[in-house]
Structure 1
Amino acid sequence: MSESLNHLLADLHAQRVATWEPAALQINIDQRQRLVNEARTEDFVRAGDTLEPFTLLKVEGGSLSRDQLLAKGPAVLIFFRFAGCPACNIALPYYQRQLYAPLRALGVPLVAVSPQVPERLVEIKTRHNLELQVASDPDNQLGRRLGILYSFDEASRNAALAKGNSIGETTGTGTWELPQPTVVVIARDGSVAFAEVSPDWLVRTEAAPILRAVEHLLGQTPVQIAI
């Protein structure tokens, strides 16, 4: 897979460096660096964990449970921030291009998950004509269990309020909490086969390791043993 998500995200950052006011750019950089520096990695979901039953809300209506997702085998969850997040509008179409077809051929559901309420979250699916599923994690319930949530720092909150809104108004959740970009591959028995959390939302998991994890789980490729 020659296309790199992180190259696309680096291009977004370069565009911001060229066009944003320095003060606004620094707030963005400082928030992302703080999340990296203060990441509670011991709380993050990891391979070997077991995910107890959960329920997501599909943006088209209806619900999607853990057991529905795993009815025929493994599933892949990709956590993102919200429908208007510029980096997410790069990441989700990338995962659609690089992962949707090969995972569908393997019978593996691909679901993008955000805490944003379904009636607002649906816009990212329609904007990009996404075939992958998009679902809401109500009240960040699953994200909290996975240990992947963060809250805006004071400078970021003030910057948002100066523009006339809070992230809680944008998402419909009423809070400043969002998930850090995270990929979770869940085995059919509910155990976590692969997990990666990215505290800096401009650094995200590429498609190749996700697909490799699924193939290993399905026994389609030999597991590489470190020596």
Structure 2
Amino acid sequence: MSLQEKLDAFKADFESKAPKQAVEVMHRATAELIASGQAAQALKAGAVAPSFTLPEADGGSVASSDLLTRGPLVLSFYRGVWCPYCNIELAALQEAWPVMQATGAQLVSISPQSLANGRKAKIDKQIAFPMLSDAGGRVADAFGLRFRLPDDLIDLYRGFGVDLPLINEDRSWTLPMPARFVVGQDGIIAYAEVSPDYTRRPDPADLLPVLKRLQGSIAA
């Protein structure tokens, strides 16, 4: 089953059980974000990737410049441990990680959640690659991904017990749009996929042709 098939199955099950009004709020918020055109303004293939240094869930910090000395860099921006769609995606990335490694690539996930919540996600999903905490969403903002949730969605999340100011240690009620980037060792973005609809994510297998092409260019 593909990643999107797993996400679609979860969505269908959730929406069959959730209150109709809650589903309507979620759909409306997604439609508004799509209509805003923000995803089209995010960084695209051919742009220079912003460099960053972020703390990692297991301790210490990770610099993109250091990772790029080892090979191409896959960046996966996600919302947090509280998001079931993100957890399904993390599991799919972990499954695909050995194949990515075989191309010489590095992989990190980036979310605005606190380091404690990053550690929880890493343990729960048995993630082997670095999980980075982007406090305040500064790196997500540099990639053009950060947005503020609409007020009715904030109220809904609060009702569901999703307290983002507590989870992220940030009062802004902002999140990144889920996104996947591949950055070549020259610092240029070779692949970019941004999902203003958080229930839709590209399959990790979509990255392999890009990674193999970059691997070939290094060998040459």
Aligned to 1:186: 183
Q: Is the 8 A contact 2:39 2:196 kept in 1?
A: no
- Which stretch has the larger CA shift, 58-67 or 210-219? 210-219
Specify which of 164, 168, 179 is matched with residue 167 of structure 1: 164
Q: Is the 8 A contact 1:44 1:147 kept in 2?
A: yes
Q: In 2, distance between residues paired with 1:164 and 1:209?
A: 34
Identity within the alignment, %: 28
- Partner amino acid, structure 1, of 2:97: Y
Aligned to 1:72: 70
Q: TM-score, normalised by structure 2?
A: 0.93
Aligned to 1:115: 112
Q: Moved runs in structure 1, 4+ residues, more than 4 A?
A: none
Aligned-residue offset at 1:163: 4.6
Aligned residues: 217
Aligned-residue offset at 1:132: 2.1
Q: Mind listing any 5+ residue stretches in structure 1 that lack a counterpart? A: 221-227
Aligned-residue offset at 1:138: 2.4
Q: Is the 8 A contact 2:97 2:107 kept in 1?
A: yes
Question: Matched residue of 2:84: which SS?
Answer: coil
Cα pair distance change 1:84/1:106, threshold 3 Å: same
Aligned to 1:101: 98
Q: Is the 8 A contact 2:55 2:61 kept in 1?
A: yes
Aligned-residue offset at 1:52: 3.5
Aligned-residue offset at 1:165: 5.5
- Partner amino acid, structure 2, of 1:79: F
- Partner amino acid, structure 2, of 1:145: A
Q: Is the 8 A contact 1:168 1:175 kept in 2?
A: yes
- Partner amino acid, structure 1, of 2:17: T
- Partner amino acid, structure 2, of 1:95: L
Q: In 2, distance between residues paired with 1:70 and 1:158?
A: 41
Aligned to 1:53: 51
Q: In 1, distance between residues paired with 2:146 and 2:50?
A: 18
Q: Is the 8 A contact 1:82 1:116 kept in 2?
A: yes
Q: Is the 8 A contact 1:57 1:138 kept in 2?
A: no
Specify which of 4, 10, 13 is matched with residue 6 of structure 1: 4
Specify which of 175, 179, 198 is matched with residue 201 of structure 1: 198
Aligned-residue offset at 1:185: 0.3
- Structure in which a larger fraction of residues adopt helix: 2
1:129 aligns with 2:144: no
Cα pair distance change 1:21/1:210, threshold 3 Å: same
Q: CA RMSD in A?
A: 1.5
Q: In 2, distance between residues paired with 1:132 and 1:158?
A: 34
1:35 aligns with 2:33: yes
Q: In 2, distance between residues paired with 1:217 and 1:145?
A: 24
Q: In 1, distance between residues paired with 2:151 and 2:139?
A: 25
Q: In 2, distance between residues paired with 1:28 and 1:52?
A: 31
Q: TM-score, normalised by structure 1?
A: 0.90
Aligned to 1:177: 174
Aligned-residue offset at 1:136: 1.0
Q: In 1, distance between residues paired with 2:146 and 2:159?
A: 24
